[in-house]
Amino acid sequence: MSNKTKSSYAISKQLLNRLPLYLNYLKDFADREGYISAPLIANAMKLNEVQVRKDLAAVSSSGGKPKTGFAAGQLIRDIEKFLGYDNVNEAVIAGTGHLGSALLSYKGFDEYGLKILMGFDLKDELVGTSIAGKQVLHIDKLEDVCKRLKIHIGIITVPASFAQEVCDRMVAGGILAVWNFAPVHLTVPDHVVIQNENMAASLVVLSKHLAEKLEKKEEGI
C-alpha cells in the first residue's frame, strides 16, 4: 500500500506553501510535549480555521483529539515527513556569484533535506576555490559530474543570459528538477520540473500593496 493521502483533499501548491509556515510556527512556539489546536495556529497565522484544520488532517498520521487538538511533537514530525524533509536530495549549483555563494553557505537547507554538494562557475578566479567548504568546479564539468553522481536537482544562479545554456547542460547531465533564480523563462523537456524563484514577482506584489497604502494615506481617512 502506498502512502497516498486518505481523503480527496488535493495536495495543492497552496497547501505545500502553507505547511512550512505551520512548521516554523510549531517549532518556535509549541511545547513539543503538549497539544496544539488548529484554531490556535489559524489565529497566529491569520488564516481561516477550517483551512488549517483541513491541512492538518491531510498530513497528520494520528489525527487530532476533539477538544485538545494535535500532539505537537508528532505533528511536527508528520509535517516534516510529508514535506520530505527526511529524504536527502543532492543538488549542484551553477553560478557562484553573490547569490550562488549565499545559497552554498546557507546552513538551513539541511533541515529541508537539500544538500548542495558543489558549485560550478566559468570564472578562472573562482574555479578551484571553495565556498563554505564546498568546491567550485569549472562549468564544463557540470554535465559529467551530474551524470556520475546521479544528481537530480540543479540550482541556477547565473546571469540571465547564460541561464538557458546552463539549464540545457543540466538536463543533458540527467537533472530532473531545476530551481531557477535567473529572471528568464527556461525551456525544458517535459520530464524536467522547473521551479522559478521569482524575486521580481515578489517585489511587485509588495510594491503594489505599498502603493495602495500610500494612496490611502494621501487621500486621508
Partner DNA sequence: TAGATTGTTAATCGATTAACAATC
Which residues of this chain interact with DNA, rule CB under 7 A?
7, 10, 12, 14-15, 37-40, 47-48, 50-51, 53-54, 56-57, 60, 63-70
Q: Report what 83 binds from DNA, a second copy, none; CB cut-off 5-8 Å by kind.
A: a second copy
- Specify whether the CB–CB gap between 155 and 177 falls below 8 A: no
Q: Report what 16 binds from DNA, a second copy, none; CB cut-off 5-8 Å by kind.
A: a second copy
Q: At what angle do helices 160-172 and 142-149 cross, to 10 degrees?
A: 40
- Give the nearer residue to DNA in terms of CB position, either 52 or 104: 52
Cell digits for 121? Answer: 562557475
DSSP bridge pairs for 134? 131
CB of 185 to DNA, least distance (A): 16
Q: Report what 56 binds from a second copy, DNA, none; CB cut-off 5-8 Å by kind.
A: DNA
CB of 114 to a second copy, least distance (A): 6
Cell digits for 89? Answer: 536530495
C-alpha torsion sign, points 184, 140, 119, 84: positive
Sheet bearing 134-138, strands edge to edge: 130-131, 134-138, 114-121, 89-94, 153-156, 177-180, 193-196
Going by C-alpha positions, the residue among 77, 78, 71 that lies closest to residue 36 is 71
Q: Report what 191 binds from a second copy, DNA, none; CB cut-off 5-8 Å by kind.
A: a second copy
CB of 55 to DNA, least distance (A): 8
Q: Report what 84 binds from DNA, a second copy, none; CB cut-off 5-8 Å by kind.
A: a second copy
Say how far apart CA 47 and CA 138 lie, in whole Å: 47
Say how far apart CA 22 and CA 41 lie, in whole Å: 7
- Give the nearer residue to DNA in terms of CB position, either 64 or 154: 64
Binding stretches for a second copy (CB under 8 A):
11, 13, 16-17, 19-21, 24-25, 28, 44-45, 83-84, 87, 89, 97-99, 101-102, 105-106, 108-109, 112-114, 152-153, 160, 176-177, 179, 183-185, 191, 193, 195-211, 213-214
